[in-house]
Structure 1
Amino acid sequence: MSESEHRRQATAYWTVGPGVGGLRVEELPAPDQGQALVRALYSGISRGTELLVHKAGVPDRVAEVMRAPHQVGDFPLPVKFGYLSVGVVEEGPEGWAGRIVFCLHPHQDRYVVPVESLTIVPAEVPARRAVLTGIVETAVNALWEAGPRIGDRIAVVGAGLVGGVLAALLTRFPLERLQLVDAGPRRKELADALRVDFALPDEALADCDIVFHCSASEPGLERCLQLCGTDGEIIELSWYGTRRVSLPLGEDFHARRLSVRASQVSVVARARRHRRSNADRLALAVSLLRDPVFDTFLSGASGFADLPGVMEQLADGRLDALCHLIEYPPPAEQPDEQPAQEGE
């Protein structure tokens, strides 16, 4: 098979049943004017959201609203979903070939997208680290929502990938106090690496001006209500999918006039929506990744061919990772013909 014929095919990861995924070979169109052909180098698994999709946990009511930018298929299944991809442009408009780019694209070895969908990765940012661009973007949006002020007392509840990245960015603010709160004692290692004070939920300091909730758990959100000071605000970053959440709203929430506000990354936060575009926000996010502290969140890697098994291990808890990297083989290692695999 010639190179031009080979490049008319791509392999992508699809979720094909509740808890079941596989690789599919599909046709790859030639790039049109204003489009680029990207060969993936790395992609990252956004554990919370992708496992929710993996388990078919997206509510029908918001299925259309919660689509990823280059998603194929409809929730719940089958669906090609993901949004942390870094690759190199193989073909595109003048000046694009050879560029390392980030794209909100599912796990796929080659793809064709409009160049407007690509964010150029600065030379100072390693391609591996650049997969975190979409996570940093989520954290930036939450900070724009909350608007931390000098001298604030802030808690981040939930030391997973989003909560950890958010805490890393908050260390740049002149705060009076910042705590990363998690029920897992092992997360203290992450907090130490970020140089952030760690606390178990029962030990966390109350009277916070802002509490960011990232644990996607009912006990976590309940503890946020207790940690927030009078007239304070809780910024909710968790997505619960079809799970229902019960809270004691007759206690701290009502008595101390608390606010709970959602932060969702599909649109720019209201405070910046008229002056920043999604592209501006992504460019800012990738620029922040010049800081090597973000390597802390890259907690393992597997080959693309192993992705279905990796998703199963993440789903059943055998694999504990913040951001698990998927590595794509270089062109010389890619076979001329790829057999149909599970889920085709």
Structure 2
Amino acid sequence: MTDAALAFTGPKTVEIREADVGEPAAGELRVDTRASAISAGTELLVYRDQTPSDVPVDETLDALDGEFSYPLRYGYAASGVVDAVGADVDSDWIGRSVFGFVPHQTRFVAEPDDVVTLPAGTPPAVGALLPSVETATNLVLDAAPRLGERVVVFGAGVIGLCVTRLLASFPLSSLVVVDPVERRRGLAAAMGADRTERPETVDDAVGDADLALELSGQPDTLDDAIGAVGYDARIVVGSWYGAKRAPIDLGGRFHRDRIDLISSQVSTISPSLRGRWDRDRRFDEALGWLDRIDADELITHRIPFERAPEAYELLDSEATDAVQVILAYGES
């Protein structure tokens, strides 16, 4: 059986290349991929050549090594079915639906401890959204929303929508989501936002918020977040801007109003939480929220793996209203 993997080979260029997966070693299992989720944040930075060249891809994931340079196999959200096991792995694994933090490819091998068994009945495409839910969980832990707070979320992509669903479970005074795309604002309302706004109306509609989360992926949106919060407020920055830059006004009320900027990134847990939280606990919490978030509603496009270049062209289009794009491998 010939396997294939997606490779970023240059700016705005992806290719499907042959991959030699082979049989699993004694302590490994092999997974037949059924779906993988494209990250419209980090993966578009790779696609557009907007990643810093001296930054490691991800030192916490064994499947992702090296630095951001072409050619690069990238991706971290694949789900499928175990189709073979090595001599030292229990045969009960065969047929089990699992998730792995691996790049986009038709099959992959991994050790049992490096995959996650998905709850029974979880569609592969929904299982592939698990990293987004985990990231949202980390963001909410870092944001630490409090009773009666006024909260505004900038960006209603997949991460922003998952964050909105989690925040909607808190007894907040108000939850506002800001995004330029009508379809995304509609999804934000369905996820529990009290109100949605376009970026051009946010100054009039949102002010004196206690907490803002900047999840748009656009560095200039940080200025909007600063303008939307009040004295002694918190802004959690979950976006990774890569090589993108924008002038941010830190010379005005930001300084005198004692506004906190908090960086949140899923590879680590805040030092203030590490006494009680570790990655396993956070991941278990995210897994429990996977079905409650109604993740299937976030999937707007399913594109066959062999047509992957079309998926990136779609996400790169300024006119797109795509939210989550899934690469489908056979049954998904």
TM-score (norm 2): 0.91
Query: Which deviations, in whole Å up to 9, do the C-alpha atoms of 1:186-211 show, x marking residues without a partner?
Result: 43311222231212323432222211
> Offset of 1:67 from its aligned partner?
7.6
Percent identical pairs in the alignment equals 32
Q: Residue type matched to 2:197 in 1?
A: A
Partner AA of 1:238 in structure 2: S
* Aligned residue number for residue 146 of structure 2: 149
Which residue of structure 1 aligns with residue 73 of structure 2? 80
Letter in 2 for 1:102: F
The equivalent of 1:316 in structure 2 is: 317
Offset at 1:47? 0.7
2:170 to 169, 173, 178: 173
Is the Cα contact below 8 Å between 1:56 and 1:77 reproduced in 2?
Answer: no
Equivalent in the alignment of 1:61:
54
- Tell me the secondary structure at the aligned position of residue 41 of structure 2: helix
Matched, 1:40 2:38: no
Distance 1:112 1:34 in 2: 10
Q: Give the structure 1 partner of residue 244 of structure 2.
A: 243
Could you tell me how far apart the structure 1 residues matched to 2:282 and 2:93 are? 21
TM-score norm. by structure 1 comes to 0.88
Contact 1:68/1:82 (8 A) holds in 2:
no
For the Cα contact (< 8 Å) 2:32–2:80, is it kept in 1?
yes
Contact 1:144 1:271 in 2 (8 A): no
8 Å contact kept, 2:162–2:293: no
Q: Distance in 2 between matches of 1:153 and 1:124?
A: 37
Q: Is the 8 A contact 2:150 2:209 kept in 1?
A: yes
Counterpart AA for 2:98: V
Structure 2 spans left out of the alignment, 5+ residues: none
CA distance in 1, matches of 2:276, 2:29: 28
Q: Are 2:127 and 1:130 aligned?
A: yes
Once the two structures are overlaid, the 10-residue window that deviates more, 317-326 or 208-217, is 317-326
Give CA deviations for 1:302-333 in whole Å, capped at 9, x if unaligned.
11110122212322346431111111025xxx
Instruction: Quote the Cα distance in structure 2 between the aligned partners of 1:126 and 1:229.
Output: 42
Name which of structure 1's ranges 86-95 and 184-193 shifts more when overlaid on structure 2: 184-193
Aligned counterparts of 1:13 and 1:188: Cα–Cα separation in 2: 31
Asked whether 1:159 is paired with 2:170, we answer: no
Aligned length: 323
Give me the CA root mean square deviation: 2.0
**C-alpha contact (below 8 Å) 2:12/2:47 kept by paired residues:** yes
- Which of 83-92 and 311-320 deviates more? 311-320
| 1:183 counterpart letter in structure 2 | P
Matches within 5 A, 1:109-128: 109-128=106-125
> Letter of the aligned partner of 1:288 in structure 2?
W
Q: Which secondary structure does the structure 2 equivalent of 1:305 belong to?
A: helix
Verify the 8 A CA contact 1:158 1:220 in the aligned structure 2: no
1:142/1:269 contact within 8 Å kept: no
Could you list the runs of 4 or more consecutive aligned residues of structure 1 that deviate by over 4 angstroms after TM superposition?
Answer: 64-69
User: Aligned with 2:311: secondary structure?
Assistant: helix
After superposition, the Cα gap between the structure-2 partners of 1:168 and 1:69, relative to the gap in structure 1 and judged at 3 Å, is: farther
User: Is the 8 Å Cα contact of residues 193 and 296 (structure 1) preserved in structure 2?
Assistant: no
Q: Partners of 1:145 and 1:303 in 2: how far apart?
A: 36
Residues 222-243 of structure 1, C-alpha deviations (whole Å, 9 max, x = no match): 0100112211110001111111
Query: Relative to structure 2, which stretch is displaced further, 37-46 or 199-208?
Result: 199-208
1:68, 1:80 → 2: CA distance? Answer: 13
Distance 1:154 1:34 in 2: 47
- Compute the displacement of 1:70 (Å): 1.4
Gapped runs of 5+ residues in structure 1? 1-5, 331-344
Distance in structure 1 (CA, Å) of the matches to 2:110 and 2:304: 23
